[in-house]
Chain A
Amino acid sequence: MSLKCKDVWEHISEYLDQQLTSEVRAEIENHLENCEVCSAILDSTRNVLVLTADDRTYELPVGYSKRLHDRLQKAIHQELDPGKHFRN
């Protein structure tokens, strides 16, 4: 049984996450070899994920880490003891 394009699209995420059985995977790969549209969709989706995982897509504000640790330091020394609110 050969897959239709629409069936392939429904499996794109699982394909990229390697969650398909080897049978379904083989059917999809067979379809991809013969279908430029689906190959293009797969490539572009994969590119979206590559871009998302790229560290530069979401960057920290300049000075974030220092401000964070300064504030934590203050809070830690005010609290002194994690969990003090919950013990008698």
Chain B
Amino acid sequence: MQEDRQHEAELIRRILAGETDMFHELIRPYEKMVYVALFTMLRNETEAEDAAQEALISAFRYLHTFRGDAKFSTWLVTIAMNEGRQRLRRLKRAAEDSLEDAVEEPEGDFTPAFLTDWREIPLEALERKELRQKLREAVDALPKIYREVFVLRDLQEMNQEETAAALGITIAAVKVRLHRARMMLQKALVPYLKGSVPPRKSFFGRLFQ
């Protein structure tokens, strides 16, 4: 980790000194992260790709403003999220999201889904494509304030401090929102997780269906 950071700092120094082509190398480890952050915000592949390109061009343009006290990845995600927010406003989809924006729902049902006939699902079940699709849909359906935190923490695997900094919220808010997001996703996914375990007694029945 420390080595990566040093390597990055060195790349940044060289880019700013004029070896601009090194920028490709600098951002290569993060190009997927930037795309995914934007895809989960914009929910459209073409728009997310274009936004990712613009965000990374901005990163190049503003590279001299990067201070080594933050992680480079956090800085990049912040730029990507700003790009995404601008686009949402332009797309006038902000209207639908802004309702959710300010409200940290004090009420609301953030309890997990109950399972009565649960057996631990085999790992192969997680291999199913359909389940990934359902998860993406469930993430899409999360209110924005929960989605943002979930994406940074569990998808981008940023830590609490980095997530709080990138979103401009407190660590306590990160914790609460993450927990709620996970519970909402658990609830949304349980029917598909459960369905992935065929009941043993109908094994033959299934074969001939």
Footprint of B on A, CB under 8 Å?
6, 9-10, 12-14, 16, 36-37, 39-41, 43-45, 47-54, 56-58, 60-61, 64-65, 67-69, 71-73, 75-77, 79-83, 85-86
Contacts and interface: CB of A to CB of B under 8 A. Distances in A.
B198 interface: no
Interface in B32-51: 32, 35-36, 39-40, 45, 49
Interface stretch (B2-10, B87-95, B110-118, B201-209): B110-118
Interface in B51-92: 52-53, 56-57, 60-65
A43 B182 contact: no
Given A13-B175, A52-B154, A60 B53 contact: no
B121 A47 contact: yes
A31 to B, nearest CB: 14
Given A68-B31, A81-B18, 14 more contacts: A9-B183, A40-B118, A41-B113, A43-B121, A51-B131, A54-B126, A57-B132, A58-B40, A60-B31, A60-B35, A64-B35, A72-B23, A79-B60, A82-B61
B97 interface: no
23 contacts: A6-B111, A9-B111, A9-B112, A10-B179, A36-B118, A37-B116, A45-B183, A48-B185, A52-B185, A53-B157, A58-B32, A58-B39, A58-B136, A58-B155, A61-B45, A68-B31, A71-B53, A72-B57, A75-B60, A76-B20, A79-B20, A82-B16, A86-B64
A44 B182 contact: no
B23 A52 contact: no
Nearest to A50: B126
Q: Is the interface of B mostly helix, strand, loop or mixed?
A: helix
A10 to B, nearest CB: 8
A51 B178 CA distance: 16
Nearest to B150: A52
Contacts of A81: 18, 20
B120 interface: yes
A77 B73 CA distance: 24
B30 to A, nearest CB: 11
